[in-house]
Amino acid sequence: MKVKTGVFYDKKGLKKFKPRISDVICAIPAKSGTTWVQQICHQIRVKGRPFDFDDQNDIMPWIERASYLLGTDLNAEHVANPRVFKSHLPYHLVPTGTKKIFCFRNMADTMLSFCKFALPRMGISTARALEFLEMLILTGEVKDRLRDARNWWSHRNDEDVLFIFFEDLLERPREVVTRIGKFMDPSFDDDKLVDLVVDQTNHRAMAAHPTKFDDHRMFDTNVQKFGLKFTALSESERVGKVRQGGGKKDQGNELPQRYTEYYEKLWKTIIEKKYGFKQYSDMREAYRNESLAN
């Protein structure tokens, strides 16, 4: 595994990958709707078929890690077309010659969501969340994510990029599913399938099958291959990717004041300075107005 700009990825595995112009890569930062968007893509391509897989990674490989950790052949055919992949890579590392979906979520929300998800999986009490937040800040994770969002924004109108906002998944799911469907296939026009996919990919439907979305194969391989002692505090916390209370907006309101101020300062220097958006909601509104105009 190579490290570049703080990103762990299988450089050799990616070099062997032969992308297709029809491939869809859900290139979404952690805790920003990756699993959700993947499942929408999958349900569209299988025409709303029931959840007949054991682990989401089996049918939509994590492109920068699946080859190294699970021995996955990234060039293999998928259960249906187009092929769909998961990725947390920043824009400049995502394989070219593919279709890419990016979902932007308020970083104040992702910081809290990441703590609530990651700490229990490592056997660490969420009471230590503030220490974890300090780590995210000191390692430059928050800064890097905002810079990457800035890069994706500059490519939002590229034909091979679909830029969406996390809150639209919550508030306008039918609209988002339709956009994703047309992005995957310009001829997509199936209102009944849109309704079915919306119903199958809401939080309730996915939470009814938690182990299909908990990355258990990747989790277990990490434990066996590297001896990492990741032990969830309870079974319910381990299966936390589609967790109870998850998938909400405005979680950032729970952040202590000093973290809120730090995030606002980063936003000002990275986003507002270049694009003029004083806050996240302004960016989202501008994009919606831009989309309606087109």
2-22 residue pLDDT tens: 434 446 678 888 999 999 999
Q: Is the pLDDT of residue 253 over 90?
A: no
| Secondary element (H or E) of residue 161 | strand 161-165
Q: What is the pTM of this model?
A: 0.86
Q: What is the pLDDT of residue 234?
A: 44
Q: Which fold has domain 13-293?
A: Rossmann fold (3.40.50)
Q: What is the pLDDT of residue 125?
A: 58
Q: Which two tokens stand for residue 184?
A: 């995957």
Q: Which amino acid, 244?
A: Q
Q: Is the pLDDT of residue 1 over 70?
A: no
Percent of the chain at pLDDT above 70?
75
> Strands 24-27, 99-104: parallel, antiparallel or unpaired by DSSP?
parallel
Cβ(126)–Cβ(120) under 8 Å?
Answer: yes
Count CB atoms within 10 A of the CB of residue 239.
22
Q: What is the pLDDT of residue 233?
A: 37
What gap in Å lies between CA 268 and CA 279, rounded to an integer? 8
Q: Is the pLDDT of residue 126 over 60?
A: no
Q: Which two tokens stand for residue 42?
A: 């999958």
For tokens 């906002």, what's the residue?
Answer: 165
Count CB atoms within 10 A of the CB of residue 57.
25
Q: Is the pLDDT of residue 152 over 90?
A: yes
Which has the higher per-residue pLDDT, 64 or 108?
Answer: 64
Sign of CA dihedral 109, 215, 26, 205: negative
Q: Is the pLDDT of residue 235 over 60?
A: no
Q: Which two tokens stand for residue 7?
A: 């990103």
Q: Is the pLDDT of residue 30 over 90?
A: no
Closest CA to 158 of 101, 236, 233, 94: 101
What's the whole-number average pLDDT of the chain?
84
Read off the pLDDT band of 289 (50, 70, 90).
very high
